[in-house]
Structure 1
């Protein structure tokens, strides 16, 4: 990127899309595409189910076949089974997976929690898979939620939500952790000392709500959690006196700690906690995530230390880019980055995941990749395949085009491939979603593509040689969530909306935690997009400014960067943005108009969330170039300013950013975009990096694709399509169509 000069009135256009329509579409798409199903208590295959004769006769021959090579593409088949009837469906899907060369299987298993429970015969279940696919290798998805019998025997260790005991453990329960370790020992001894041991790749450690380590929005109000909160506070504060002072309760003893009341779901009229009087609530929000993360880490560490196979250890955690409540418990991934956890598993984002959608990641994938860890995307797309009640045959629902389903799956595959992530195709309810031969032929082609075009890992020096550096790094901060009262409305705009805007802006994007930016682990990058950096102390602000000056890069700030430093102050925002920023007196109306005429947004185009926000900020700086202003007040809402040290600051005071706005800013900064402006701007979902480029069309039409240099281009889904020595090309697409290209610059080929 060229060093940005002072911006003239020729280019910056901001358009924040209407949020209501986006949220409505996202909800409908999420319902269609499914979710990680909540496990049942009944064992998958009870010990008294018996071994079919065919399995017993063929077992020895199947076991003699070697499992898949560990170096094969990280592509998996996943299905949940709760009965032998489910197995009848899943076994057919597993056979289709084997034909497609997908030999890695994620198998949900339950543990035996009490002496009187028969438990699940995990070994028998795995042998059944081996009979279907002699090359099968397994990730065991371990449900750490205890049985109903355990909850009945330990009622004080269960969650309490809204006054009612839940069939789930409190994450603060030491009894649960102790008994869970014992149950894990039994599982590991059973499978790792058996004839299937060489087929065990590792474990996916699951627990709490939806088996995804989620906590209820209302919080756990059990006594065991109150005690856990008390103990956590004594670790966080140096003394009882320091705790009492922070909470404004002189003389308070640790034993007098109570769980602060959460005010429910405040709307945009009160976004943040008030410090210091609401410090107890901020502490509680942080504690929920850290205690949840600690429980997960305890099980992961125990498994790593007990297993004899050096297992791959994954967990569905760290989904910080989702608009979930801040009480969800998922915001301590940063504490686990140096732990025994080898990676994260997550569904495709439940926001904007349907046909034409962005299909974004749930969390900061590159914070794991840069450490040599992994991220596995769970593709639980609803395919429309279902059993005909009259014939018993599996067919696709009327009105659904198979090609549309395949294009969504191609987009999800491209999102994984471009950054070297894993991908698991899932039938989460064993309802035959994947019982379609044509679909598995598509997956077989994907496996072939992954084998031939797997990018080098971020830790490999060859990654830089492949030109894998991002044009934009999107930065999310876990700790800033602990200062919010308003969660889902704001998180939908800033986190999910900001992530999806980046994926639609037309360039290569990476996603990382703020701590990795501060520690210098990620980057360099020409542009940084800070979604929710609400909490930045003086040291952090100095570190960021020094880094931007050294790299001569640009920082794009959203809403309230650095607002908290002990207490909240608008002066902190002025300090980090380098602009004179003011706060409206009380609630103020959001919603802006763009002030210039540009190539992605017309002049006077409205954008922003037209709601009452408190706080809401505006820009009042004669040295900054104003790009947009609030419709209601005329105050500045978006501005750009070049700092004396050579870096550029862009402040978007509106709580959100759209693809059009972000694309305009990037154009002004002279950052090359794959999607140049034209008569029609499509803002397609785009994944790029490692010599790969994927486009998923938001709507039908012809769009230009600009490569920035002469390249050989090959369509990987259709080998008949390609271009030689092209700097740009025209790409006609139908709505929802996905294309994936190999892009080889001519200059690099000549070296």
Structure 2
């Protein structure tokens, strides 16, 4: 400890400039700059250099400008016409000029010709194709030379016949043979016309098997940094990769340096947080240390290192250390923090864990596995008793075989008596990932003391709950371990991709409200596909749920900003691929519009007390059986109940928070209703504690709470009763489909029920009614499926995972939770403020819950007086309201 304190002291001496820390007092963490609370709003700008231009129906000129980061004799210019992906009619685009000029010398380095019968040999194209019968088919788009009146030299004609049956894919025009030199600027001069106005995006690549970008960030980065600064947003985060040293130990920081300087030129007050990519070491490293590379069941490694490799952790930490030292030496007055990333999609989960393929069969993982077993069991005898294997020892234990990991199991949960090796392996996977990310966090702390922020992606408990090979394969279920580290300041993740569409809610991937209780700040990554993404064609990953118009963009972004503000989260707007998703000044007016509300919430430390608490237990999810080839317990259990269930729970008309079970058991959750989504595997003490909470707070029990007794390793309906107070019986040959009873329909259930839920898990539990209980729904056999127990503190037991969406709202109202709308809506509450987002068009009756005057913060107008009033809302529209009490 003395050594660590000394190290932190000297590290802090080397960090000049402002000090940034997260102050987590009272469960309301905020970022402080030199002790003063500041907004946790940020902008993410991509290092991808894409230039955007508009092709109009009339012949017109446009230019594309690129700054080159590395020399190349044969660069390729990609022009992408994404608009083809959204048209279902024939299109035509023509070019009469494409010329590349060196800005420094003024010399033309490449000019493409469009005369003659054949296409210039340095011109090519491809289309992503259309989907048909599950396969991607080629598109009969064509390019050809065509004469044009008054245009000497002809034109290049791009034509698509359209497709009445479905959407076409993106069209790439590729122009080869461009010589470029490092640190020079080049301009592409174009003259073109199209049959309708459309945008194109462009990039310069070294055209290898995997195209390598040749340019520094351009116009879109500069524009968005400037727009953010004008809106008071100075935190700028950006990705940086290729910082690993070469085989001789030399590191190149020129790209990092150039990007920092580009940002600071646009905003000298920018507070920089580089996102440092540590995912994949260079080829020399992979060849030198083959045993440190991960290994799939197929034998390949995908080019990824093993998360368990101590050498990878050590070398990656040194890469991070070198980047930090470079930044602190060259930009000390502008550094705010560091965001080390790795694993799949930079988010610290195991590579390809969302697929059916399995990993962990490399030497590094085997070594770490045996070390883990030695530390846990100490002796071979103890391991043999736990696994019931007489010949096993920590020194010879192998990674569980693929067939064993994916075999068909009778129960939806792993049995400690039959599956002890796999349960241990699941726990091991979490520890290894947590150890890796904490190694990076510790490196940040060692280099900067407590003067800089450390940000990590981690803890996607709800989002990864339905991974086919078990949630454990992600490695994201050691959240409590990560939260306990003093080296971590902020955790981050994208807004859930499940329910972010227009009219949807805005939920996190994790128990983010518990992250706040731990004194850490949660950051929502808002990579909304805005109308500019639609116009430019680059909409991934949210192409199914993004905006097509400015109005829709404003609806989505206002909802997401309100969600972050009302929960006390940070947020960054993310231009994921550098295509200018947030380049429209109209979008940044939202930041200014909500800035004063964000400041009031932050500076006055207004408490965050959601009315409804959604409870998730990361330990229970580690016991979920992997999907076999016939049974998929993930799609039958965790997908409808946890991952998909968030959408329905968000629409109760009351404010909702997401918490860890251990915070509820510790008495840290102050809600009016607890929804227990996953408390399947509990100890005796946990069962007693959970039962005690239900004596004081209405509780919605989901599926099989307490069914697995971790103290004895046995499954029991008796432990379910101990946990919930409901006597239950286990049904055989029954699926999760249910139908409402007349009492259930009167209670608020839809008459149709969930009769199409053919999937099932084990157990299927039927609650046994007692006097005064109401059976709200039945299984197909007629056995009770959902049982309401009235009383001073009501409770509800739902034996199926196919929870009727309307049941959450109906039980909340029955339990006395104040609902702010007369119909399902996405509502958040904090202090005297409300945010209301409409799932559909209509007239909403708003009940503010007190005798007050209600003001719409967007326009400052009074929308209601006294108790109730009506708002006419469009689908996806979000209104932020302030309640001003009327005193007698």
Question: What's the TM-score, normalizing by structure 1?
Answer: 0.82
1:305 aligns with 2:446: yes
Residues in 2 aligned to 1:206 and 1:399: alpha-carbon distance in whole angstroms:
29
Cα distance 1:560–1:631, how it changes in 2: closer, same or farther (>3 A)?
A: closer
Residues in 2 aligned to 1:227 and 1:514: alpha-carbon distance in whole angstroms:
33
Residues in 1 aligned to 2:250 and 2:583: alpha-carbon distance in whole angstroms:
34
What is the aligned partner in structure 1 of residue 226 from structure 2?
Answer: 95
Residues in 2 aligned to 1:489 and 1:303: alpha-carbon distance in whole angstroms:
41
What is the aligned partner in structure 1 of residue 10 from structure 2?
Answer: none
What is the aligned partner in structure 2 of residue 72 from structure 1?
Answer: 38
Write the deviation string for residues 604-623 of structure 1: whole angstroms up to 9, x where unpaired.
Answer: 44137342333211112324
Write the deviation string for residues 405-458 of structure 1: whole angstroms up to 9, x where unpaired.
Answer: 21111111111000111110001111121221222233332334423454755x
Q: Give the 5 Å matches for 1:526-675.
A: 526-549=672-695, 552-565=696-709, 566-586=713-733, 588-596=735-743, 601-602=748-749, 604-607=751-754, 609-623=757-771, 625-641=773-789, 647-675=793-821
Equivalent residue for 1:283, pick from 424, 432, 435: 424
Query: Does the 8 Å contact 1:113/1:179 carry over to 2?
Result: no
Equivalent residue for 1:197, pick from 323, 329, 332: 332
Q: Give the 5 Å matches for 1:43-192.
A: 71-82=37-48, 83=213, 84-110=215-241, 111-114=243-246, 115-116=248-249, 118-121=251-254, 122-149=256-283, 150-162=285-297, 163-192=299-328
What is the aligned partner in structure 1 of residue 662 from structure 2?
Answer: 515
What is the aligned partner in structure 2 of residue 209 from structure 1?
Answer: 344
Query: Does the 8 Å contact 1:384/1:400 carry over to 2?
Result: yes
Name structure 1 gaps, 5 residues minimum: 1-62, 391-395
How far off is 1:369 after superposition?
1.1
What is the aligned partner in structure 1 of residue 14 from structure 2?
Answer: none
Local SS of the residue matching 1:344:
strand
Query: Does the 8 Å contact 2:42/2:573 carry over to 1?
Result: yes
Cα distance 1:603–1:94, how it changes in 2: closer, same or farther (>3 A)?
A: closer
Cα distance 1:267–1:528, how it changes in 2: closer, same or farther (>3 A)?
A: farther
How far off is 1:102 after superposition?
1.7
Query: Does the 8 Å contact 2:786/2:796 carry over to 1?
Result: yes
1:425 aligns with 2:570: no
Residues in 2 aligned to 1:685 and 1:597: alpha-carbon distance in whole angstroms:
24
How far off is 1:386 after superposition?
5.1
Query: Does the 8 Å contact 1:68/1:137 carry over to 2?
Result: no
Comparing 272-281 with 126-135, which one deviates more in the overlay? 272-281
Residues in 2 aligned to 1:141 and 1:441: alpha-carbon distance in whole angstroms:
26
Residues in 2 aligned to 1:516 and 1:285: alpha-carbon distance in whole angstroms:
23
Residues in 1 aligned to 2:216 and 2:258: alpha-carbon distance in whole angstroms:
16
How far off is 1:313 after superposition?
1.3
Q: Give the 5 Å matches for 1:93-492.
A: 93-110=224-241, 111-114=243-246, 115-116=248-249, 118-121=251-254, 122-149=256-283, 150-162=285-297, 163-194=299-330, 196-215=331-350, 216-217=352-353, 218-262=358-402, 271-308=412-449, 310-322=451-463, 323-325=465-467, 326=471, 327-339=473-485, 340-385=487-532, 400-454=548-602, 456-457=604-605, 463=607, 468-485=608-625, 486-492=633-639
What is the aligned partner in structure 2 of residue 687 from structure 1?
Answer: 828
Q: Whose strand fraction is larger, Structure 1's or Structure 2's? A: 2
Cα distance 1:724–1:642, how it changes in 2: closer, same or farther (>3 A)?
A: closer
Query: Does the 8 Å contact 1:596/1:604 carry over to 2?
Result: no
Write the deviation string for residues 175-204 of structure 1: whole angstroms up to 9, x where unpaired.
Answer: 01111222222122111123x212211112
Local SS of the residue matching 2:854:
strand
What is the aligned partner in structure 1 of residue 143 from structure 2?
Answer: none
Local SS of the residue matching 1:112:
coil
Residues in 2 aligned to 1:629 and 1:374: alpha-carbon distance in whole angstroms:
41
Query: Does the 8 Å contact 1:205/1:314 carry over to 2?
Result: yes
Comparing 409-418 with 318-327, which one deviates more in the overlay? 318-327
Write the deviation string for residues 262-305 of structure 1: whole angstroms up to 9, x where unpaired.
Answer: 56778998522234111211221222122101111121122112
Query: Does the 8 Å contact 1:594/1:605 carry over to 2?
Result: no
Query: Does the 8 Å contact 1:77/1:102 carry over to 2?
Result: yes
How far off is 1:527 after superposition?
1.5
Query: Does the 8 Å contact 2:785/2:799 carry over to 1?
Result: yes
What is the aligned partner in structure 2 of residue 23 from structure 1?
Answer: none
Residues in 2 aligned to 1:355 and 1:247: alpha-carbon distance in whole angstroms:
50
Write the deviation string for residues 89-111 of structure 1: whole angstroms up to 9, x where unpaired.
Answer: 21122222222222110122233
Write the deviation string for residues 684-716 of structure 1: whole angstroms up to 9, x where unpaired.
Answer: 222222332111211100011112211232212
Cα distance 1:537–1:92, how it changes in 2: closer, same or farther (>3 A)?
A: same
Cα distance 1:113–1:154, how it changes in 2: closer, same or farther (>3 A)?
A: farther
How far off is 1:585 after superposition?
2.1
Cα distance 1:337–1:92, how it changes in 2: closer, same or farther (>3 A)?
A: same
Name structure 2 gaps, 5 residues minimum: 1-16, 21-31, 49-212, 538-542, 626-632
Local SS of the residue matching 2:610:
coil
Write the deviation string for residues 633-663 of structure 1: whole angstroms up to 9, x where unpaired.
Answer: 11111113368xx644321111143441011
How far off is 1:356 after superposition?
0.8
Query: Does the 8 Å contact 1:692/1:741 carry over to 2?
Result: yes
Which structure has more relative contact order (CA 8 Å, sep 6+)? It is 1
Cα distance 1:578–1:68, how it changes in 2: closer, same or farther (>3 A)?
A: closer
Residues in 1 aligned to 2:868 and 2:359: alpha-carbon distance in whole angstroms:
53
Cα distance 1:601–1:81, how it changes in 2: closer, same or farther (>3 A)?
A: same
Local SS of the residue matching 2:579:
coil
Query: Does the 8 Å contact 2:554/2:590 carry over to 1?
Result: yes
Residues in 2 aligned to 1:427 and 1:603: alpha-carbon distance in whole angstroms:
41
Query: Does the 8 Å contact 1:192/1:308 carry over to 2?
Result: no
How far off is 1:599 after superposition?
6.6
Cα distance 1:230–1:488, how it changes in 2: closer, same or farther (>3 A)?
A: farther
Number of residue pairs matched by the alignment: 660
Residues in 1 aligned to 2:369 and 2:447: alpha-carbon distance in whole angstroms:
29
Residues in 2 aligned to 1:488 and 1:126: alpha-carbon distance in whole angstroms:
45
